[in-house]
Amino acid sequence: MVTPGTLIKASFDAGKEFFRAPAEDKERLPYKAPVMVPIRSIGPSHGERIEKHLLALDAQDRYLRFGYAASDEQIQRYVSGLNYERDDIFGIYNRKLELIAMAHLALSIDPELKSCAEFGVSVLKHARGRGYGARLFDRAVIHARNEGVSMMFIHALSENTAMLNIARKAGAVIERDGSESEAYLKLPPADLDSRMTEMLEEQIAQTDYRLKVQAKQFWDLLGIVQEVRRGVRDSRDRM
C-alpha cells in the first residue's frame, strides 16, 4: 500500500513529463508502472468519459466486468443510473485525458448492511499489465475504510482470474459457486494513516489532472499554430 511519505515524494515529481511531446503509440510500448499512480475521484461532470471508457470495452471485457455481454444501451443505462452521492467512482487518466481505468465502489442500500460495499473495475486493453486494477482496488479500500465500511465484496465470474487474484492478494476469502465467485474482504477501521493517505492521494491526483489539462491545451494550441503555418507556407509555395 502507498504510504503518505511516498505520496509526498511523488507530489514533487508531478508534472515533469507533461510538457514533452506525446507519442501517439506511447501507451502501447513496454511500460514499467510507476510507484505512484494518480487516481482521481470522479463526479457527474465526467459521465461522458465514463460512458466512452465502458463503451470501448470489447464483448469479452464487458462480459467480465458486468457478468453479461452488456450492449451499448445497457452500458448507457448503467452510466445514467450511477449515484454519485451514494457511491464513489475512481479513475486513471492518460495524457490525452482519456479514462483508461476506472473503479466503482457501490455502497450497500440495504439498511442491515450499511457497512458493506461492492467493488468493480475495468481497464482498457492497451493499458493493462501496469497494475492499474490493483492500484484502484487499494484506493477503493482506503476510501471504504474512511467511510466506515467493514466488509468489501467482489462479485465476479470465476474466469475473471485477474480480479480474483487482486482480491486474493489483499487477503479476501473467495467462495466459488459454479461459473461465479464471491470474494469477501474484511476491512480494518479507519485510522490517521488511512485518512492522511486518502487526503494526499486525492490532492496529488487533482494536481496531476490539472497539469494534464494544461498540457493538452498547450499541445492542441501548438497543433493549430503548426497547421496555420503549413497552410501559409503551402500558399506561398504555390505563388
How does pLDDT run across 83-112, given as a tens digit for each residue?
999 999 999 999 888 999 999 999 988 877
Contact 54, 82 (CB under 8 A): no
pLDDT in the model for residue 24: 45
In a domain, 213, yes or no: yes
CATH code where residue 170 lies = 3.40.630.30
pLDDT in the model for residue 30: 46
In a domain, 178, yes or no: yes
In a domain, 224, yes or no: yes
119-139 average pLDDT score: 94
Containing structural domain, residue 11: 4-16+30-238
pLDDT in the model for residue 139: 95
What pLDDT digit, counting tens, does each position of 167-224 carry?
A: 999 999 999 888 899 999 999 999 999 999 999 999 998 898 888 888 877 766 777 7
**What is the spatial order of strands in the sheet that 116-123 belongs to?**
40-42, 88-93, 99-107, 116-123, 151-157, 180-186, 173-177
In a domain, 186, yes or no: yes
Average the pLDDT over each of 7-11, 48-52, 135-139, 232-236 and give the range with the smallest value.
7-11
In a domain, 150, yes or no: yes
In a domain, 24, yes or no: no
- The pTM score is 0.77
Q: How far apart (Å, rounded) are the C-alpha atoms in residues 178 and 187?
A: 27
Alpha helices (H) in 94-191, listed in sequence order: 132-146, 161-169
Q: How far apart (Å, rounded) are the C-alpha atoms in residues 124 and 96?
A: 14
Nearest in space to 75 (alpha carbons), one of 93, 97, 59? 59
In a domain, 25, yes or no: no
134-153 average pLDDT score: 94
Torsion of Cα atoms, 41 then 215 then 131 then 33, to 10°: -140
pLDDT over threshold 70, residue 166: yes
Provide the domain count of the chain: 1
Contact 142, 194 (CB under 8 A): yes
Distances (CA, A) of 237 to 224, 225, 230, 231, 234: 20, 18, 10, 10, 5
In a domain, 215, yes or no: yes
What pLDDT digit, counting tens, does each position of 58-68 carry?
A: 999 999 999 99
pLDDT over threshold 80, residue 124: yes
